[in-house]
Structure 1
């Protein structure tokens, strides 16, 4: 593949670093030690003289003998990445590199922003029952999905929606690299951030200095298999949580992990008819209960909150689970939302081919229920609604295939019981890139620079000195 050059006018622009006031979009203030700025990129790289977008950046300057910059993306897609500039702040990478966070195009403080629904519209969507698999129920859900896609086109613009995918984000990263003055890119990507990292490697293999990819998405995997594998991952995390919960004296799922799925279904299925009471007037819907549970399964640090939330649900209330669902969906204290969910849909609908065949949608639903019985409401019948991507107003870019040659050594980190990005995807991505693999034994989503010395120390050596981790390293 021929490496496309960054447009000279964009790659040569200067960065005017200043305060981060007004940059936070997720309800959390950015750390006071960060600096922020925006740079300009073309919306369509094939037409660099056309419309432009502004990409929000953050920086934690190197505190010691500076090597260069490291870009960091926390995943999503749809998540703001500005606070990611604090990654590794207690390690030598913070001393030797400017740590750079960024909001990918259309996300967070970058402009224009992807917007589809208002806050009240999102609240209503979350409260709606989309589990009805009768012909009438499927028709109603598909009508809602068509309406959602139409609103995205109206409120964001088709021209911009067509250019929010991973390839355009990777090209933006090359502009960022250039304006920061780095000859080659050093990058840490988590979860979806591995997708844009591997895309960058394919587009610009000769401009890679170092890539750390943690919680891998295998871009060569069939999107249907990806969803099913993720469902299986969440089921394993639920099983691990249930086993841990059963050790306590008041586990709302009981003392037998083997019966935890049945007990969980007895707690949540009544929400299909009646939401649980909450201090917030919205109440806890069936969808939000499941979303809150999945949010807590991302990390054992949230298992206590999940145990409390399920205990509340057993007593008929749902405040904790609603708070967890709000966190997952990016709902702010004033009832508005970050654009996390809208951007998530916009990116995935451009990145991956949609399911437009009702039979395939039904097959996916059946396989999903089999892979994650704790999420099966018992109403499956082999039929399912087509999701929003089937009605998306711009075409997808298709399924990517990694073909990389002459790439600098890379490092993939994969967790054995990761609920969101299965371990095997990391194994596959490391093989695709010809890189090293670090295996972490645990039940959580991503681990790099979270305080595990066995993982962090070899990553610091790699990023600072380009020392490759030992083969087969397992922590």
Structure 2
């Protein structure tokens, strides 16, 4: 009998497999990975990987990279059945990045057995950040490059024969591209869903998130203005009404709105509503209520807007799904925010006049982490790229179409073979809203054909 492979030794039935039908045949593994890949004697950390075995005859594998930085691989679980049906011959591997989920975390307060589980709560914050600073050498090892080394290591240790693909979503696309720069294992292709801007793109980095939101939000307002029925709902037209409302908010004339909208900030609430097609379609309603009957906004958000996010809220049913704000702060300040010196006052001044904003830009100004030095891969030109498929929504408020187009141009300039599919009316995270398009694009791409240059949302995801 042949000796068992590393994969056969490592994987076993997941503890939660019986709790969720979609996880029933999943297998789980924990594997030690070097803390510093270039320092073999510097210790190790644990990486958690879940595997969904191929349905039918196996032809290869696909590795799914979650977003963030800070999201767990569980963000894929609610839609995993559709993905497996689209790729029946592939093992699907979903790792938790270092610092997330059931992989080693940055502090003890984020571990599953802590007071609030993997979330930080109450009195856990102080000790956690104290631990992060006291162990700064360990903390700074949780970099994007080291996470890419983890992927390389996991593929080598746990991967099998046949075709091998990587599917990255949002931050996972940036991680996938970092992986292409350092990989030692071979991959047949990379799929990038909601492509992050190139790291040297100073117009679309995280410090400009509110500007990205506002650009998409203004496109939504323009569509209302072009619709006679929608435009007629507002005295003088939607453009004039919207602009006047923003002037009043910025001048302090509408303090009442803070009482009626989630988080006390209408601009943030409007920005949040860009994240799903259903909530985006409600923006004219929100503006109408804010202008005329603001006291009705709480009920509106509770009964109309919140249900539009059920798709994402469903992920919370899985254990250890809490987003890692510490990892997001570490990588954001060290790499993906080109202006970490910005203060809250700078942000407020820069965002005056914008109608759609993100709380992230202000939150970043309060996050203090022991930063790591940008390494040789940061801003380095691409070389020897595998074939790449990019799936991008044209109304993505987080990773904008313009940023993706520029990033693709960089890849092509480096000789990359890149297929670019624009998904009409799609927000961030195309897979969750246009699965038919994604499936058709993957099928063509994996069979060495060019997918359609554009496609649409799934019928069920189109607002009625």
TM-score range, shorter chain: 0.7 to 0.9
Deviation at 1:405, TM superposition (A): 2.7
Is the 1:201–1:407 contact (alpha carbons within 8 Å) kept by the matching residues of 2? yes
Deviation at 1:263, TM superposition (A): 3.1
For 1:59-101, what per-residue CA distance to the aligned partner results, in whole angstroms no more than 9, with x for missing partners?
Answer: 2221112112211123111111134254472565430111122
2:461 maps to what in 1?
A: none
Structure 2 residue runs of 5 or longer lacking an equivalent are 1-5, 456-464
**d(CA) in 2 for partners of 1:424, 1:345:** 25
Are positions 1:159 and 2:134 aligned together? Answer: no
**d(CA) in 2 for partners of 1:284, 1:416:** 27
Is the 2:58–2:91 contact (alpha carbons within 8 Å) kept by the matching residues of 1? yes
Is the 2:155–2:185 contact (alpha carbons within 8 Å) kept by the matching residues of 1? no
Are positions 1:16 and 2:11 aligned together? Answer: yes
1:297 to 268, 274, 280: 274
1:431 to 409, 417, 423: 409
1:135 maps to what in 2?
A: none
Are positions 1:342 and 2:349 aligned together? Answer: no
2:48 to 56, 62, 70: 56
Are positions 1:171 and 2:163 aligned together? Answer: no
Deviation at 1:51, TM superposition (A): 2.8
Q: SS in structure 2 opposite 1:318?
A: helix
Q: SS in structure 2 opposite 1:211?
A: strand
1:232 maps to what in 2?
A: 211
Deviation at 1:181, TM superposition (A): 2.5
**d(CA) in 2 for partners of 1:406, 1:73:** 21
2:64 to 72, 79, 89: 72
**d(CA) in 2 for partners of 1:276, 1:55:** 44
Task: Using the TM superposition, name which of 446-455 and 78-87 deviates more.
Answer: 446-455
**d(CA) in 2 for partners of 1:331, 1:96:** 26
Deviation at 1:365, TM superposition (A): 5.5
Change over 3 Å in CA distance of 1:197–1:298 after alignment to 2: same
Q: SS in structure 1 opposite 2:392?
A: strand
Is the 2:145–2:179 contact (alpha carbons within 8 Å) kept by the matching residues of 1? yes
Are positions 1:112 and 2:105 aligned together? Answer: yes
**d(CA) in 1 for partners of 2:147, 2:99:** 10
**d(CA) in 2 for partners of 1:208, 1:331:** 29
User: So what's the TM-score if we normalise by structure 1?
Assistant: 0.71
Deviation at 1:150, TM superposition (A): 8.8
**d(CA) in 1 for partners of 2:13, 2:244:** 54
Deviation at 1:177, TM superposition (A): 1.0
For 1:228-264, what per-residue CA distance to the aligned partner results, in whole angstroms no more than 9, with x for missing partners?
Answer: 654333123323444667879999x947320224336
Deviation at 1:353, TM superposition (A): 6.5
Q: SS in structure 2 opposite 1:207?
A: coil
Change over 3 Å in CA distance of 1:20–1:241 after alignment to 2: farther
1:221 maps to what in 2?
A: 200
1:199 maps to what in 2?
A: 178
**d(CA) in 2 for partners of 1:326, 1:447:** 15
Is the 1:55–1:103 contact (alpha carbons within 8 Å) kept by the matching residues of 2? yes
Task: Using the TM superposition, name which of 87-96 and 416-425 deviates more.
Answer: 87-96
